[in-house]
Structure 1
Amino acid sequence: MKISINQAPKHEGQKVTIGCWLLQKRGSGKIQFLQLRDGTGFMQGIVVKENDESLFETAKGLNQETSMYITGTIKADDRSSFGYEMEVEDIEIIHESHGYPITPKNHGAEFLMDNRHLWLRSKKQHAVMNIRNQIIKSTYDYFFDNGYKKIDPPILTSSSPEGTTELFHTKYFDEDAYLSQSGQLYAEAAAMAHGKVFSFGPTFRAEKSKTRRHLIEFWMIEPEMAFYKHEDSLEVQEQYVEYLVTQVLEHCKLDLERLDRDTTALERIKAPFPRITYTDAIELLKEKGFEDIEWGDDFGAPHETEIANHFDKPVFIINYPKEIKSFYMEENPEDPRTVLCADLIAPEGYGEVIGGSERIHDYDTLKQRIEESGLNLDAYEWYLELRKYGSVPHSGFGLGLERTVAWLSGVQHVRETAPFPRLLNRLYP
């Protein structure tokens, strides 16, 4: 019977066959311990010399990453986190590996990134990708279960959703086009048709940043909701993030353990989340020793970390100055200098994971903001038209997948959270 490693608990005491690779091995003159992987998990296989000397010699000669069919009996093993192992009775080599470059020793980051196509096979990278996969699954579950429809905005666009110059330019036949920075504007159009929608796709930022929080290509989850005010949107964000955390804790226990993730920090992530206004955050930073920061300045990573450290779970920074936020954000009626927006700052130094706002729903106001921002009015005519035919208050937000994976898995650099990350100096492999 052929099974996968993750099915082993259902086959205790049975003889089975597993297609797998050799991750590592160790042993003595009498026994070989084979660390096996098959994509679904990791398990130890044991080969005892006195049981079958020929099989023992085969096991002893195996090289790292050799592929094989391995047959044996599944046994309980309380010493391993997986809880099961195999008493090996037969090994059928499929392909013998020689000179695998990533050996069981420390390697530099650049070497590992050059070999990303192979580094993905390691236990820790496997765990990170499992957590990423769970976040993706849980995202679909959350939004579908709560009445949202998925829409797919175009990746090629004629203008910038954010109104910035950090765009990748290309030719679209005889027109100029850009790789999308965000699906938000298109999601707004879809929300006017379907009420509650979300998009989930790749976005691109031509930002020459080398920080541990930045990628050139990354994935965004962007819900947009008709008839939702800013406060309504904040509640959705809290519920969604809490759901992601609980699902990862429930379904990725072995992965979190493999990454040495302190889960007590994640177990505290329960809604509602604390909130602090931008203005109060400036005062807090001044009290913490950031004397140079002034009202109107944007926050950098040290500022976000300091604010997050003041709380024991994610914190919303709300109502940023109008001048440092995007043109489409609704003005704050209690302070016209600011807009109805929020950034959700993750604890433990992981920075902003969500940015959101209530959108301007008045035609004349939005038109004025587009003109004040120096944008091409013709390029945004379709977006303006959403305010001409039954406009309603609406809100939305964007969650960065890779930053969220980094936070929940506890890895220090966002490059480990994408299968093949695109960085300022990296387009290979």
Structure 2
Amino acid sequence: MKTTISEVSKYVGQEVTIGAWLANKRSSGKIAFLQLRDGTGFMQGVVVKSEVEEAVFQTAKSLTQESSVYVTGTIQEDNRSPFGFEMQVTKVEVIQAAIDYPITPKEHGTEFLMDNRHLWLRSRRQHAVMKIRNEIVRATYEFFNENGFVKIDPPILTGSSPEGTTELFHTKYFDEDAYLSQSGQLYMEAAAMALGKVFSFGPTFRAEKSKTRRHLIEFWMIEPEMAFYEFEDSLKVQEEYITHIIQSVLKNCALELERLGRDTAKLEKISVPFPRVTYDEAIKFLHEQGFDDIEWGDDFGAPHETAIANHYDQAIFITHYPTKIKPFYMQPAPDRDDVVLCADMIAPEGYGEIIGGSERIHDYELMKQRIEQHQLPLDAYKWYLDLSKYGSVPHSGFGLGLERTVAWISGVEHVRETIPFPRLLNRLYP
């Protein structure tokens, strides 16, 4: 019977065969302990010399790291192992013997590991991070599907910038200019006017020359847009979404969180409603904490966000940022025109902003005015202006950065470990 490591609990007391790789090994004259992995998980295989043919024991004893094998044996419960099961091996068939595998159990430098990212992914730690990432993706689709959202795929090649910045990757689109998308938001607004509640999930690109632990050049975004949803409605969806994915990871990735040494008590604290502070209140708080380097009208940096979030020990919303530091499409606050109806969700423990969102302008004249104020080409935005011209309604949306969210929930320090093949300022390999 062929099976996988993740399924062995169904076969206790039975003999099965698993295709696996040898992650590590230790042996003595009488017993060999094989640390096996098959992509679905990790499990120990025990080969006892007195219970198998001599050739089987010698094969097991001579196996090299990352050799591929078929192992056959009986599944037993093992309460000493976090996994809970092990295999009493009776047969080992070598598929390919790996020679001089470069990533050994010793310590390696980050650059070496990044150069060997295609192999580093096989490690227990990276396996755990990718499983948590996968669970967040699964729970994302679950949440939006259960709440009546329609999945829409915006284009990756665009002719304009939703943020109005120069941090774009330029390319030629036959005889005209095009850019790699930095956000699908404008297209998602068009979809929301057709389908009500929509979400996208895809790659985005930012040509920021940043080397911080929070930044990637290519990353994945979840971007919902909701017709007839005002600012407060959107905040409620964001709270519910974040708590849903956290609960899903706590429930379905307990082994992976344990492997990463994650303090799950900190995740268990995350519950709705999230605290909210206005930008004005945040500036005042920072001044009281001795941050004299920031004034009203400045955007927050990582130290500022961390100080604010740590004060609450919870994910929080910072709302009502100054109009001048936010994109052109954000709806002004009803009682003052110097701030907009927007919010950044800041994760605790120093992980920074994971969501940015706002109510969108739905007045045609105001939208046209803002586009002109930001010196954006009206021709390129004509289609977007049509949305506020033909049956416009109040609508809101937000964008969540997947890799930052994975880093926070898994407790990993740097986002380079939260995407399979990171693209960094000085890294396009492998």
Shared fold, TM over 0.5: yes
For 2:237 and 2:293, the matched residues in 1 are separated by: 35
Is 1:297–2:298 an aligned residue pair? yes
For 1:26 and 1:281, the matched residues in 2 are separated by: 55
Amino acid at match of 1:10: K
The residue that corresponds to 2:217 in the other structure is 216
Is 1:374–2:375 an aligned residue pair? yes
Is 1:281–2:282 an aligned residue pair? yes
Corresponding residue SS for 1:46: strand
Flag structure 1 segments of 5+ consecutive residues without an equivalent: none
Once the two structures are superposed, the pairs formed by residues 90-169 of structure 1 within 5 Å of their partners are: 90-169=91-170
Flag structure 2 segments of 5+ consecutive residues without an equivalent: none
Once the two structures are superposed, the pairs formed by residues 235-250 of structure 1 within 5 Å of their partners are: 235-250=236-251
Amino acid at match of 1:100: Y
For 1:146 and 1:320, the matched residues in 2 are separated by: 29
How many residue pairs match? The answer is 429
Residues 344-402 of structure 1: per-residue CA shift (max 9 Å, x gap): 00000000000000000000000000000111111101000001111000000000000
Amino acid at match of 2:248: Q
For 1:427 and 1:54, the matched residues in 2 are separated by: 45
Aligned-residue Cα RMSD (Å) equals 0.5
The residue that corresponds to 1:82 in the other structure is 83
The residue that corresponds to 2:419 in the other structure is 418
Amino acid at match of 1:251: N
For 1:201 and 1:50, the matched residues in 2 are separated by: 54
* Greater mean deviation of Cα atoms: 326-335 or 174-183: 326-335
Residues 183-238 of structure 1: per-residue CA shift (max 9 Å, x gap): 00000000000000001000000000000000000000000000000000000000
Residues 59-92 of structure 1: per-residue CA shift (max 9 Å, x gap): 1100000001000000010000010000000001
Is 1:409–2:410 an aligned residue pair? yes
For 2:376 and 2:205, the matched residues in 1 are separated by: 20
Once the two structures are superposed, the pairs formed by residues 164-175 of structure 1 within 5 Å of their partners are: 164-175=165-176
Corresponding residue SS for 1:379: coil
Corresponding residue SS for 1:310: helix
Corresponding residue SS for 2:202: strand
The residue that corresponds to 1:40 in the other structure is 40
The residue that corresponds to 2:394 in the other structure is 393
For 1:292 and 1:208, the matched residues in 2 are separated by: 23
The residue that corresponds to 2:11 in the other structure is 11
Amino acid at match of 2:219: F
Corresponding residue SS for 2:328: coil
For 1:33 and 1:92, the matched residues in 2 are separated by: 16
Once the two structures are superposed, the pairs formed by residues 173-212 of structure 1 within 5 Å of their partners are: 173-212=174-213
With the length of structure 1 as denominator, give the TM-score of the two structures.
1.00
The residue that corresponds to 2:351 in the other structure is 350
For 1:210 and 1:54, the matched residues in 2 are separated by: 52
The residue that corresponds to 1:384 in the other structure is 385
How far did residue 335 of structure 1 move? 2.3
For 2:376 and 2:214, the matched residues in 1 are separated by: 28
For 1:233 and 1:76, the matched residues in 2 are separated by: 47
For 2:203 and 2:403, the matched residues in 1 are separated by: 11
